[in-house]
Amino acid sequence: MIQMSTFIAILLVALTTYCTRILGYVLLKNKTLSKRQRKILEVIPGCVLISMITPYFLRDDPADLIAIMSTLFAASRFGMLPTILISMASAAILRTLLV
Amino acid sequence: MPPFQPRITPSDATPLSEFQRGVKDCIPLLLGVIPLALVLGATAAQKDFSLLEVPLLTGLNFAGGSEFAVLEAWTDPPHLLTLIFITFLINSRYILLGASLVPYLRHLPNRKIFPALFFMVDESWALSLTDAQRRLAQFGYRYAFSLPYYAGLCIVLYLAWVGFTTLGALLGPVLGDINRFGFDMAFPAIMLVLLKGMWKGFTEARPWLISFICAALAYSYLPGNWYVLIGALAGIASAFWLIQEDEA
């Protein structure tokens, strides 16, 4: 079953999301970018990524903090899958041990 | 010590092989996506979303962060303006992500770009952009971004997200707290590996440090999800200052 009010809300939310997805592209599409502007654009992704994960470095639980530091270490050494596994395993183990 | 290394594009790459390369690169990410999808589906079921409404939301919106926020703010009947406002704020980072793709996409026709952007999420954007940056030296801006590779990433993420959110709504009450198995740590792990892939040296990374500091301050002293936007914008603003013409 789909309720009418829920349906409308979902449509509006989805439309809003799609607007954010195309807005950056549409705004910059016809601009000619200098080399400096391209360098600045190249740095943006990292700024967003690091902002998204900042809270993981500020948790109160020591288990979580040790887990994120081991994740940082793993990420500097290994590829995607080993890092994810090390990260999840260290969090699961530390949370069990340090209650 | 390889960071995230997209498989190197062989010279005999076809659209199909590029698509398959995307699918393969995306599979490890499912470790982070699937648990999150199950939790979201279960949360939606608690808010009386039906088994049709859940895939409608996750399939049309397809942006996990905003979906969690929408459910958090959900009322019956829904406050449309509140929901739109929250969605816009949380997804405003996509404006930046979209902007960062401009040099790689602008030569493509609109009929390809606008459907492609519908599927842009943090993971598909980050992997495809890392891949494009790596291919840039070899192919130039015109061919650096591999659209079939991106399609491979997107289809895996989309099917997993819509499928497992629906499954989560079905299984909801049985799941309990899955974070005790550490699944919540998959997300920062993925992001750190991607950052490693974008690392070009400390000088280039100074705006990241500014982002981290400002996001930390915003997270500590402001409510809600402001830290993403504030951290990102502070880093970008500092880039205008730190990246000067002579270095470019």
Q: For the segment B22-59, what is each residue's pLDDT rounded down to a tens digit?
A: 999 999 999 888 988 988 898 888 888 999 999 999 99
Residue B39 in any domain: the answer is yes
Which residues in chain A come in under a pLDDT of 50?
A: none
Mean pLDDT, rounded, for B97-105? 92
Q: Of B159, B180, B199, which one is at a domain's C-terminal end?
A: B199
**Residue B185 sits in the same domain as residue B208:** no
**Residue B132 sits in the same domain as residue B234:** no
Structural domain span for residue B218: 200-248
**Of B133 and B90, more confident:** B133
Q: Which residue of A has its CA nearest to B100?
A: A41
Q: How far is CA B210 from CA A20, B76, B179, in A?
A: 24, 41, 30
Average pLDDT, chain A: 90
Measured from the Cβ of residue A37, the count of other Cβ atoms closer than 10 Å reads 17
Residue B3 in any domain: the answer is no
Chain B interface test: which of A3, A19, A51, A86 (most B C-beta within 10 Å): A51
Task: Decide: B152 and B21 in contact? Cβ < 8 Å.
Answer: yes
**Residue B156 sits in the same domain as residue B211:** no
Residue numbers in A near B106 (CB within 8 A):
29
Alpha helices in chain B (DSSP H): 15-26, 30-46, 53-60, 64-72, 80-91, 93-105, 110-118, 122-144, 147-175, 186-198, 202-221, 226-242
Residue B44 in any domain: the answer is yes
Residue B2 in any domain: the answer is no
Task: Decide: B173 and A53 in contact? Cβ < 8 Å.
Answer: no
pLDDT of B248 reads 42
pLDDT over threshold 60, residue B246: no
pLDDT of A23 reads 95
- With pLDDT > 70 as the criterion, what percentage of chain B qualifies? 91
Residue B137 in any domain: the answer is yes
What single letter denotes the amino acid at residue B181? F
**Residue B64 sits in the same domain as residue B30:** yes
**Residue B76 sits in the same domain as residue B126:** yes
C-alpha span between A82 and B2 (Å, rounded): 11
Residue B159 in any domain: the answer is yes
Q: How far is A66 from chain B (nearest CA, A)?
A: 12
**Residue B72 sits in the same domain as residue B138:** yes
- Kindly report, residue by residue over B55-89, the tens digit of the pLDDT: 999 999 999 888 987 887 788 888 898 889 778 87
Q: Number of folded domains in chain B?
A: 2
pTM: 0.76
